[in-house]
Chain A
Amino acid sequence: MIRAGARYRLLALFVLPALVVYVAFSVYPLISSVVLSFFDSDGPSGSIFIGLDNYVHLFVDPYTSERFWNALLNSAEFFGIHLLVEVPIGLLMAALLTSNTIRRSRGVYRTLLFIPATLSVVIVGFVWRLIINPLFGVVKFPLLGDAATALPTISLMSVWQYVGIPMIFLYTALIAIPDDILEASRIDGARAWQQFWRIKFPLILPQFGLIAILTYIWTFNGFDIVYALNGSAPGPNYATDILGTLFYRTFFGSSGQVADLDLGATIASVIFFIILIVTAAYFVVLQRRLKTYEL
């Protein structure tokens, strides 16, 4: 047994290196970003505290707010398409993979279906832009050129890429269900379809909820696929501009827009709060209720 004093010393010795890197390059910048959103540091007299002025500017200023609300709605749509398409297809794939009838080829399918998720968005964006290029002849309509179809098209490219992630989450949850539960239901005459919805699905609800909330975090934090396809002022006419691209454009600047670090930090903070509130609410309200089945 190690004495309490020694335990503290050892804990500090082993944990501090990781803690320092984690705090310095992840936690501190996030907090600092929120702090920065209450200041104006671009003026000649250095940094001045301006309260909520940056937020007011972001929400109300005619030009800035138009871009912001547009990006927020687009991010919501980007998330919605992932939630309604990616998560259910991932669930279907996981259900098929764990079907008793294909035990032997499971591993092969699992690997093949996950491969798109190993690609970088640059590749995904280009592959799909090429395939839906009217010159290629698969589709005749310029899907990315039309404001109505551009964002759904990009979202579906992203779904194509990342569907393997919910699949793997739900797959590992499904194979963790003890066999005796399933045997019992089979003896009671449950068919595969019934067994899935009445027994398996309720048992994996916590993981289903977790992947839904992770999808929310990842999509509201999205940037790469839109930037890879359409750059930092994503057209047509900002129809594919999401919060991530707006954030990047604001602090980095782009043609026709001067870099504004404080406003960038403000947008980051807004995204952070959007993510934080829903995630916290989810864990406090829902996840606790879903945990009722302990396997």
Chain B
Amino acid sequence: MTSTAIRAGATRERTRPRLQKGEAASATFVHGLLIVFAVIAIAPILIIVLNSFKTTVGIFGGPFALPDADTFNLQGYVNVFSRGNFALNYLNSVIVTVSTIALTVVLGTMAAWALVEYRVRVSTLVAGFFVIGIMLPIRLGTVPLIKGMVATGLIDTLFALILVYTAMQLPLAVALMMTYFRSVPGELKEAARMDGAREFQVLGIALPLVRPGIAAVASITMLPVWNDLWFPLILAPSRENQTVTLGVQQFVGQFQSDYPALLAALTLGALPLIILFTLFSRQFINGLSAGYGK
């Protein structure tokens, strides 16, 4: 018992500068497992991207081979843009995602600010009402949503999607922003009020301090909105309102045998989000853990 304690203590003393023999072995083991997991995660995506630059013969002749002089071709991409509706789909997805992020950030920030700042008896209740929404599966209200959208003439518009997605993301945004606003020092706000600032201006002064929260809300809103299939299918299915996710889904259904075009469509659908996620992964992870964790 004592000897293990001493041994462990001694190891600890020397770990910082250089890894011990045992630790080097365990580092190899940890890296090995993580590399296996990373390959499983990434290889299928790489296969799609690589094969999108090949001919059909090339794809099925050697699905795991790199494109070479014989098999390289860009016909898939040409077909996607000539037959599909890709440019418009992209535009729709960008409009819906950016508008939802903007609306969610603005409304969520205002609400969270007030719930933290103007404490009255109902504040806790209202905050709790928002937090419950993090777990509410909004899709289950689809039937009344369709009826409402038909009644108001919003059915089959991008605006319908923006409203529903904003409602879907607001609870998480409010919960997240509340945790960030709580850490804004009171003196700062009181000083501003002493100087006669109006409440909107006080919020404006606090905003730079919660910028990481805004970034977290924006990045955590992006993924589910861009990738959603359910609501585009139901609330905005017509050709001119299709988002990328729905567009790719329909394209896959229509051009079942044109593999280069299919793979090109999938690549074009996947890459923007992979790139955005890689750039903003820190904000995204902050948002995910802080939003649900509280």
**Bound form: Cα–Cα A181–B177 in Å:** 30
From A11, A36, A117, A128, residue with most partner B Cβ within 10 Å: A11
Selected from B119, B270, B274, B285, the residue in CB contact (under 8 A) with A172 is B285
**Residue B4, interface by CB 8 Å:** yes
Selected from B27, B118, B288, the residue in CB contact (under 8 A) with A101 is B27
Q: List A264-292 residues whose CB lies under 8 Å from chain B.
A: 264-265, 268-269, 271-272, 275, 279
A14-B110, A116-B45, A252-B234 are known contacts. Are A102 and B8 too (CB-CB below 8 A)?
no
Residues in chain A within 8 A of chain B (CB atoms): 2, 4, 7-8, 10-11, 13-15, 17-19, 21-22, 24-33, 36, 92-93, 96-97, 99-102, 105, 107, 109-123, 126-128, 130-131, 135-137, 160, 164-165, 168-169, 172-173, 183, 186-190, 192, 207, 210, 214, 217, 221, 223-224, 227-228, 244, 247-248, 251-252, 261, 264-265, 268-269, 271-272, 275, 279
A123-B266, A160-B40, A207-B293 are known contacts. Are A109 and B141 too (CB-CB below 8 A)?
no
Q: Is the CB of A102 within 8 A of B5?
A: no
**Bound form: Cα–Cα A24–B144 in Å:** 10
Q: Is the CB of B229 within 8 A of A123?
A: no
Closest to A169 in B: B289
Residues in chain B within 8 A of chain A (CB atoms): 1, 4-5, 7-9, 12, 15, 19, 23, 26-27, 30-31, 33-34, 37-38, 40-42, 44-45, 47-48, 60, 63, 103, 107-108, 110-111, 113-115, 117-120, 122-123, 126, 130, 133, 135-148, 163-164, 166-168, 170-171, 174, 193, 199, 223, 226-230, 233-234, 244-245, 248-249, 252, 262, 266, 269-270, 273-274, 277-278, 281, 285, 288-289, 292-293
Q: Is the CB of B111 within 8 A of A29?
A: no
**Bound form: Cα–Cα A102–B26 in Å:** 10
**Bound form: Cα–Cα A164–B199 in Å:** 41
Excluding A18-B110, A22-B133, A264-B142, 7 further A-B contacts by CB distance (< 8 Å) are A30-B141, A102-B34, A126-B48, A172-B293, A247-B140, A247-B142, A268-B139
A10-B114, A99-B26, A228-B229 are known contacts. Are A30 and B138 too (CB-CB below 8 A)?
yes
A25-B166, A127-B266 are known contacts. Are A187 and B8 too (CB-CB below 8 A)?
yes
Q: Is the CB of B277 within 8 A of A114?
A: yes
Selected from A101, A120, A136, A279, the residue in CB contact (under 8 A) with B23 is A101
> In angstroms, how far is the closest chain A Cβ from the Cβ of B29?
9
From B147, B167, B233, B244, residue with most partner A Cβ within 10 Å: B167
Q: What does DSSP make chain A's interface, helix, strand, loop or mixed? A: helix
6 shortest interchain CB distances as A-B pairs: A29-B141, A14-B114, A25-B167, A172-B289, A101-B27, A18-B111
A25-B145, A93-B37 are known contacts. Are A123 and B170 too (CB-CB below 8 A)?
no
Q: Is the CB of B31 within 8 A of A114?
A: no
**Bound form: Cα–Cα A172–B146 in Å:** 38
Contacts of A118 in B (CB 8 A): 223, 227, 273-274, 277
**Bound form: Cα–Cα A249–B228 in Å:** 18
**Bound form: Cα–Cα A116–B40 in Å:** 10
> In angstroms, how far is the closest chain B Cβ from the Cβ of A288?
16
Contacts of A207 in B (CB 8 A): 293
Q: Is the CB of A224 within 8 A of B5?
A: no
